[in-house]
Structure formats: structure tokens, C-alpha cells
Structure 1
Amino acid sequence: MPEISGIGAVNVEYSHFSVGEHRERGFERRESKPDFQTDEPVITVPGQLVVTSRLQQHTAPVVLAVNDQLDEAPGPTWDLVASVDYQPVYQGRMAAFDTMNGPARPARESVEVFGRQAEPGEPFVDLDPSRTYRAQVWSQGRSDSLERLNAATEHQEWDVPEGLEAYVIVFVPSGTQERPAPSETGSRRERMARTNGKPPLNMR
């Protein structure tokens, strides 16, 4: 049975949001600059998936899941947006993030995913860092979200409703890899703390 997270609400700005991996103590930060010039709906960089939206700015419900069946839809109303490879680079704890403001907050309402109710809560799952994954992004409402927003604007409904687009990101194990390990020398902050007795002011 698929593992599902709580359902969060991400504040989408500049037509994208991310699902990223928490960097644990001792791991060097991996360089992750998405190429927004691409037309791909999902951009993969080390430690992060960036999901593009058809809307410039809105709030989207998001659920994360781990499943052992590739191409299994979360339900009959969910459409597959993209399927990409992902390999953990830290310890595998994935969460959904706002474009600008950190982790997603709990959504207002539950949603049915894989025959169960995903309740409002934190959208995170723990991946096995010794495995590689196929990440599949599923959506409700994406195909006509812009048209529905324009229709609402024409009727002078100025408040953008939550849920014009909703997403489920499903991670399916696809292979194995060497488990990522902390740097032997630790992070830059830890190295400077050892050298100077305490971290520099801008890292405390």
C-alpha cells in the first residue's frame, strides 16, 4: 500500500514550487540551480525537484507519496504531468516548499489519494537514501487552470481560489546506489567552528 503524507498548501510564485530534500548536519550543500529556460514541466537538480505551474501566483495543495507501482495514478481524476529520475543526495527526507517562504503549511481540506484521505498536515516522506527513484508528478486542474483563473477574473472574482491546481508527487523505487554519507571534514560552518572555537557571526 502506498505511503502518503499529509496534504500541505504551497504558495506558488513565479510559476513554480519545489519538493526538496532536507540537508542534515555534516553534509555539504549540493549546488542546485534550476534551468528555468527549459520547457520541461519538472526540473531536476541535486536534492530537489522543481515543479512548474501554468499560473504565475496561487496556492496549490500538495501531497507526497512513496509507492512500489510505477504509473499507478493516485485516483481517476489525476493526470500525469511528468516522470523523472531522482536520487537522494542527503538522507532522503523530502518535503514540499513554497517558492519563497520555506516549508508548506497544512492545507485547509483533505483530498483522496490512492483510495485514502490525505489529511491536512506536513507534506513530507522519507526516502531510502540507498535507493534511486522514479518521481512521478500527478495533477488535478492543471490542464485548464489558466482558463478557469481568467474566467474568475472576468467575473471580478479577485481572490484567487486555492486549489486551481493540486499535485501529488509519487516516488517509486527504481534501483540502488551507494548511500550518501556526510563529508569527513563536515560542513563549512562546522570546519570554521572547529578552527575558531565557534562559528562566524553570519552562520550562528
Structure 2
Amino acid sequence: MSEISHVGAVSVTYGHFPVGELWEPGFEREESRPDFQTDTSVIVIPGQIVVRTRVQEHTAPVVLVRGHGQDGAPGENWTLLASELYRPVYTGRMAAFDTTDGLAKPAAVPMEVFGRLSEPGEASLSLDPAQIYLVQVWEQGRNDSRERFEAASQRGEDSLHGWFEAYAIVFTPSGRQSPPTPATPVSRRGRLAARHGKPPLGMR
């Protein structure tokens, strides 16, 4: 049976939001940035899956799913946006994030995916860091989201908090990798020696 997260509400700005892997102490932090010059709707970089939206600023319900096979669409009215491979880089703890404000907040209402009701809460789940995953990004509402957003703006409605697009991010095992391991801890003496070429006098 699939593991389904709670449904979060992602505050989207600049037309994109990340589903990212939570950094763990001891691991070298991945600092890569997505290339927004591409027309790709979903960009995968180490530690993140970046979803580009058709509406620049809005709030989108997002749920994460860990599947065990190709289960098809999460339900009626879902459309597959992209399929990409993701390799965990830390310990595999994934979460949906606002574009600029940290972890997504709980959504206002539940969402039904794969015949089960996901209640509002934190959109997070754990992957096996020894697995490689096929990530399927499913969406609702994109086909006319920008048009509905512009119409709401013209009517003077609070379009920033309106529902225009929803996403289900499905992770399915698709191979194995050597699990990432934390770096060997370096002592203060070692750090100072690396910086200055030799340990300080009091540490020799």
C-alpha cells in the first residue's frame, strides 16, 4: 500500500516551488540551483525537485506519495506533468516547501489521492536513501489556471490565496544506489591545521 503524506499548502511566488530533501548534520550541504532558462516544467537538482507553475503567486495544495509500483493516476482529473529520476543525497526525508518561507503550512481542506483522503498537515515523507526513485508529478487545474487567476484578479478577489493548481508528487522505487554517508567529523585542530597549514602552537 502507498504511503501518503498529509496535504500541505505551498505558498508559491516567482512561479515555482520546491519539494526538497531535509539536510542532516554531518552531510555536505548541496547548494546547486535550478536552471530556469529551460522550458521544462519540473527541474530536478541534487536535493530538490522544483515544480514550475503557470500562476506566479498563489497557494497550491501539495501531497507527497511513496508508491510501490506504477499505480497510474492518483484519481480522476489528474494529469501527469512530468516523470523524472531522483537520487536521495542525505537520508531521504522529503517535504514540500514554500518558495521563500520554509516548510509549507497545512492546507485548508483534505485531498483525495489513490482512493484515500489525505488530511491537512505537513506534506512530508521518508524515502529509502539506498533507492533511486521515479518521480511522477501529477497536477490538477493547470490547463486554465492562469486564465482563472487573471479573471479573479479583475474581479478584485484575493487571488493570492485562491485555489488554482494542485499537485501530487509520487515517488516509486526505480533502482538502487550506495546510500549517501555523512562526512567524517573534523576536529577543531584539524580545521585550524587545514586553514593555516599547521596546527596552532598550543595544539602541536
Q: TM-score, normalised on structure 2?
A: 0.89
2:27 corresponding residue in structure 1 = 27
Q: Give the Cα separation in 1 of the matches to 2:45 and 2:2.
A: 25
Q: Kindly tell me: are residues 178 and 14 of structure 1, through their superposed partners in 2, closer, same or farther at Cα, counting changes over 3 Å?
A: same
The reply to whether residue 97 of structure 1 matches residue 122 of structure 2 is no
3-state SS of 1:145 partner? helix
Instruction: Assess if the C-alpha contact under 8 Å between 1:16 and 1:51 holds in 2.
Output: yes
Identity %: 55
1:122 corresponding residue in structure 2 = 122
- What RMSD in Å do the two structures reach over aligned CA positions? 1.6
3-state SS of 1:146 partner? helix
2:113 corresponding residue in structure 1 = 113
Q: CA deviation at 1:157?
A: 2.2
1:31-70 correspondence runs (5 A): 31-70=31-70
Q: Give the Cα separation in 2 of the matches to 1:37 and 1:24.
A: 30
Question: Which letter does structure 1 place at the counterpart of 2:150?
Answer: N
Q: Give the Cα separation in 1 of the matches to 2:157 and 2:189.
A: 54
The reply to whether residue 167 of structure 1 matches residue 167 of structure 2 is yes
Q: Kindly tell me: are residues 193 and 15 of structure 1, through their superposed partners in 2, closer, same or farther at Cα, counting changes over 3 Å?
A: farther
Question: Which letter does structure 2 place at the counterpart of 1:112?
Answer: E
Q: CA deviation at 1:13?
A: 0.4
1:78 corresponding residue in structure 2 = 78
Q: CA deviation at 1:74?
A: 0.6
Which stretch of structure 1 is more off in the superposition, 66-75 or 27-36? 66-75
Q: TM-score, normalised on structure 1?
A: 0.89
1:199 corresponding residue in structure 2 = none
Q: Kindly tell me: are residues 112 and 130 of structure 1, through their superposed partners in 2, closer, same or farther at Cα, counting changes over 3 Å?
A: same
Instruction: Assess if the C-alpha contact under 8 Å between 2:85 and 2:134 holds in 1.
Output: yes
Q: How many residues align?
A: 192
3-state SS of 2:144 partner? helix
Q: CA deviation at 1:11?
A: 0.5
3-state SS of 1:7 partner? strand
Q: CA deviation at 1:194?
A: 7.5
Question: Which letter does structure 2 place at the counterpart of 1:97?
Answer: F
Question: Which letter does structure 1 place at the counterpart of 2:4?
Answer: I
Q: Kindly tell me: are residues 91 and 193 of structure 1, through their superposed partners in 2, closer, same or farther at Cα, counting changes over 3 Å?
A: farther
Instruction: Assess if the C-alpha contact under 8 Å between 1:32 and 1:48 holds in 2.
Output: no
3-state SS of 2:84 partner? strand
Q: Give the Cα separation in 2 of the matches to 1:63 and 1:194.
A: 44
3-state SS of 1:89 partner? coil
2:197 corresponding residue in structure 1 = none
1:141 corresponding residue in structure 2 = 141
2:10 corresponding residue in structure 1 = 10
Q: CA deviation at 1:149?
A: 1.0
Q: Give the Cα separation in 2 of the matches to 1:11 and 1:141.
A: 16
Which stretch of structure 1 is more off in the superposition, 14-23 or 159-168? 159-168
Q: CA deviation at 1:150?
A: 1.5
Determine which structure has more spread, i.e. the larger CA radius of gyration.
2
Question: Which letter does structure 2 place at the counterpart of 1:38?
Answer: T
Gaps of at least 5 residues in structure 2 are 193-204
Q: CA deviation at 1:72?
A: 1.3
